[in-house]
Chain A
Amino acid sequence: MTLRRRRFLQAAGLGAGSLLLPSLSGRRSVNAGPVAGAVPRIVFCFAEHGVVRENWAMPRGNPDAGRWDYDLAAVPDAEFSQSLAPLAPFKDNLIVIDGLSIATGIGDPYGDGHAKGWNAALTGAIARETIEDVKSNASKPSLDQVLGKALRAQDPLLTDLVTQEFGIYQYNFHALLFGEPSPGAPVARLPHLEQPKGAYDRMFPNGDGNTPPDPRRVAQPDVLAQVAGMYDSIQGRLSAEDRKKLTQHRDLVRDMEARLRRLGGLSCAQPPAIKDYYWGQVPHWQRWVDHQKSFWDLTTVALSCGMSRVVSMQWGQVPVEECGGTGDLHEAYAHRSDPSHSTDPNYALAKTVMTNYSRKYYGFVAQLAATLRDIPEANGSLLDNTMIVILSDIANGNHAHEPWPVVIVGGKNFLRSGRYFHMEKETLTTSTASWVNDNTKIGYPHNHVLVALQQAMGVNVNFVGQPSIQPKKTSAPAIDLTGPMPGLLR
């Protein structure tokens, strides 16, 4: 892939003035701060079921209590844990965080562990307070969408492609992304693209640029302008709420129109060759691998060209056979890999399968990281400017939300990379369950990591989702969810 960097910088609208990040909180000012001129981007990756902690964590002789961190870059590759081994080549640009909790998920009385994680992991908020349809009721938009909105406000040249949402074999139901709500409607699950061709067509409305302009393609922005106009002139029996829905639709059409006008003049890279299969066209695993490469190639172009600043990749379950098992991964292995199932005859096999499972996803991330590392940018590489964040809905096979594992590859121009962090159980539990003791302690709330990522992206807001949460022990003060996790920002 050839990237014309000067063209990219022009296209992205990233003149020197726009690169000045807002000043951040006082806690941050003690750090070196982001590398001047570096343009932050972020990729959120999500896979279900957490990790097998004994094969994931790398305590290096440290105690299981207390806050501590160490230099990952000094760890020999061969000493990386089984799960994290694929990321060893990036250890100087890698952050591993152990000991977090999804405090807002734990404080959510509704839904099973997965559902609570879907709702809270990227929203930082407790789910909507309803017992109906408990698995689809986040109360706030997810961080990727929050960032997209904020970044567009900062840079008018960004289009609605500022965020892109991809997925592989991911039922939309099991997902972390929630969109900005429609007027009068609650926050809703955000769909994602499963076909690389759909993403390609959106990013490259004029094709590969090697064929003469098609008048029908050239006319698309004007057609959309015409369509948008129809939403203004609509007649009929419509309530005020209904009119708001139509206005929202119109605005999205206008967004698309603006995107096409903008992308029509953007030629920073050759579109990648992609492979795109419908379901059943090729074996499932081949489709997965090829779609993964296609989506990563599209991600690379989108991030490098300034089309997108935020990309999400939501994965379904890797085929169990690729992990050394058979049958149903969730039932037969995911649950049974937790130490609470240590007497289960399948426990050992379950741990092996689920370790292989998480290793697969880290392997996918390593593929993207390697590509981004090879693309030079000001102040280093595209990887140095891109934070690839790998999340799950739960911590482990017991549906717990702590110790919640977070891994960040890249982004060393904004984060204190090359560190392994361990956080302590120091927060009063937010669980409302009757059998949980009031004084139970849970891990450090993950909201602080989300805040750090938000600020690393240049969005100077001091909380994500909600600024505090009440612990179970009602006489205790509210738990502060503001501010970035100490030591995470550069």
Chain B
Amino acid sequence: MARSLDIAARVSVLIVLGGCWGTIGDPENTSGPCGDIPEPALKRLSHTEYRNTVRDLFPKLTFPTLQLAPDPTPHGFDNDSESLYAAPLLVTQYNDAAGKIAREVALKKTMVLPCMASAGATCGHQFIADLTARAFRRPLADAELAPFKTMFDTYLAAHNFDVALELTTQAILQSPQFLYRIETGTPDNLSSPYDVASRLSYFLWATMPDAELFSAAASNQLGDADQIAAQADRMLADPRALDGFMTFTRQWLETSRIDRITKPSSEGWSEDVRAALHEEADKFLSEIVFKRGGTLSDFLLSNKAFIGPDTATFYGLPAPAAWTEITLPADRRGFLMQAQFLSATGHPDHPSPVQRGLFVLRNLLCVELGSPPAGVNMSVPAPAPTMPLTNRQNYEQVTAEELCQSCHKVINPMGFVFEQYDTFGRRRMTDTGLPIDPSGRFGTTTFVGPHDLLDFLVSSEQVHKCVVGKYLTYATGGQKTTSRDQCLVDDVTADFAASGGSLTGMMKSIATHPRYLGTAAQRPTPIGGKP
């Protein structure tokens, strides 16, 4: 099993889907205390973290687009430490990006330097010490600073201050200590205060530590639980916490799917609609779920949403002049009944119960199904005009074979509950003139329509565990965990339940857990659970 799945798997409930390939839960899942703290994995900054870090290193500057080739996301998240290594093109792009940033720094040096350039080498050395301490996320020893100072002095002597500033900045921004999170640790193999600061900031903010975190690290104020909790509270109240939340949430919910679909323009589809659907999801997640301290229940059941001029029609509502928060009609609740999700899981001319069902199974229930077997034609033929079928009937026919049914008997019933919403997410009561059957099931639980499903999901222990697993997978950057880490999983799961399913509460629970921070093997006082 790939190691990044371990955490999600450890919180999954083992169920058996006879005949369907796939990973459903972890047969080795056992609860228990944590063992020794594992060695930290080297983590290259994800592209999101890289761009955010550059932004915060030079807050007064703006930069042209920094092109970076997409990283693999084998487990759905772009910060998988196993997958983030150097590739030829990426190293070249790091060089290009460093060149662009450094050029801007030199051009606008008065906005960046902590001193007057007229001071020459003295100012250059001060800049180097200041920049490296932030870029490398810890202060440097004199011996580490020396090569940069020598480099600066060489180019200062050969050319001028600007050239020396630019070239030295380029080198710093291509250094391993900047591009990778390299932890120094303590002699007893725990995280150092600076390691803790970075673990907090890259999880909660998806960027580098701020001055206050650095200061706390420097004065050894990141040692006990109260100090950590106070920092987490402060950070969660900072606008950058939304970056951290959205970086996770967009990937968990695969909101980028909307970029890969097309619909007929004759039905009103356009690039503006695509952008508006992105905004719809972002507004719901940021305003209603995050900023209001939302819970998993709010995510699934809230009757609040945002509509814009380009999306109102999908809800059968008059178009507002600008984005407006609304109370949804009674037939809709939560993220899964909004246009963004329903459109993103639809083909041009018909909704896809398979995509909708798979989304719920994989992203909310952590049921990992295998891929279709070799040689299967997965296209869905248009029904013959002489014998109209509903979309559901068509999918049932296409997947009727026993081989298909080994998986589709699980997938289809989960997706069929959304059939009363077309491929744009518009409500419909008939399909090709025929009545729609929105019944479905999961295991032995049956539903009629999405409201039933949502009620099931919101009270499902499996869903709660799955969401915890997803967040932990993201938080740890896919770092390998074993049964030794079970206390982290157990504690966060218990905290999540105790908080009523608060997503921001889960952020704090993870961020402050000594196992996550690497400051102790486990919590000194178990909270909500097992020793």
Contacts and interface: CB of A to CB of B under 8 A. Distances in A.
A171 B42 CA distance: 28
B175 A112 contact: no
B385 to A, nearest CB: 7
B272 to A, nearest CB: 11
Contact of B88 (A215, A223, A255): A255
A341 B381 contact: yes
A112 B171 contact: no
A17 interface: no
A408 B373 CA distance: 32
B87 A179 contact: yes
Contacts of B184: 235-237
Contacts of B93: 198
B119 interface: no
B371 interface: yes
Nearest to A250: B176
Contacts of B182: 234-238
Q: Which of B22, B92, B185, B266 has the most CB of A within 10 A?
A: B92
Interface in B154-205: 155, 158-159, 163, 166-167, 170-171, 174-177, 179-180, 182-185, 189
Interface in A303-341: 320, 326-328, 331-332, 335-336, 338, 340-341
Interface in B234-264: 260-264
A461 to B, nearest CB: 22
B42 A230 contact: no
A467 interface: no
- Name the interface size band of chain B: 35 or more
B384 A253 contact: no
Contacts of B384: 343
Given A245-B86, A253-B91, 10 more contacts: A130-B2, A131-B21, A172-B70, A193-B69, A195-B67, A202-B92, A235-B184, A245-B42, A249-B179, A398-B377
A403 to B, nearest CB: 15
Contact of B89 (A193, A231, A280): A193
B372 interface: yes
Interface in A171-187: 171-172, 179, 182, 185
B39 interface: yes
A345 B2 CA distance: 45
Contacts of B262: 320, 327-328
At the interface, is chain B mostly helix, strand, loop or mixed?
Answer: loop
Contact of B374 (A131, A219, A432): A432
B96 interface: yes
A223 B87 contact: no
Contacts of A116: 374
Contacts of A327: 262-264, 348-349
Nearest to B264: A327
B475 interface: no
Contact of B85 (A110, A245, A336, A397): A245
A188 B370 contact: no
Interface string B339-383: 000000001110000000000000000001011111111111110
Contacts of A190: 87, 89
Nearest to B71: A191
Interface in A224-262: 224, 226-227, 229-231, 234-239, 242, 245-246, 248-249, 252-253, 255-256
Given A245-B85, A246-B42, A253 B174 contact: yes
Contact of A216 (B42, B83, B151, B163): B163
A190 B263 CA distance: 30
B382 A227 contact: no
Nearest to B158: A215
Given A160-B88, A237-B183, A215 B159 contact: yes
A457 to B, nearest CB: 19
Interface stretch (A18-26, A50-58, A132-140, A291-299): A132-140
A121 interface: no
9 contacts: A112-B372, A115-B371, A188-B87, A193-B69, A198-B93, A229-B147, A249-B86, A328-B261, A336-B381
Contacts of B23: 131-132
Interface stretch (A4-12, A368-376, A433-441): A433-441
B72 interface: yes
A346 interface: yes
Nearest to A319: B262
Contacts of A223: 151, 167, 170-171
A110 B87 contact: no
Contacts of B368: 132
B159 A335 contact: no
A419 interface: no
Nearest to B70: A172
Q: Which of A133, A248, A320 has the most CB of B within 10 A?
A: A133
Contact of A237 (B39, B75, B95, B265): B39
A37 interface: no
Contact of B176 (A195, A201, A249, A434): A249
Contacts of B39: 237, 239
Contacts of B92: 202, 256
A106 interface: yes
Contacts of B170: 223
Interface string A90-114: 0000000000000000101111110
Contacts of A189: 72
B86 A136 contact: no
B82 interface: yes
Interface string B264-287: 111000010000000000000000
Q: Which of A109, A172, A198, A249 has the most CB of B within 10 A?
A: A249
Contacts of B95: 224, 256
A359 interface: no
A175 to B, nearest CB: 11
A252 B88 contact: yes
Contacts of B87: 179, 188, 190-191, 252
Nearest to B168: A223
A131 B375 contact: no
Contacts of A384: none
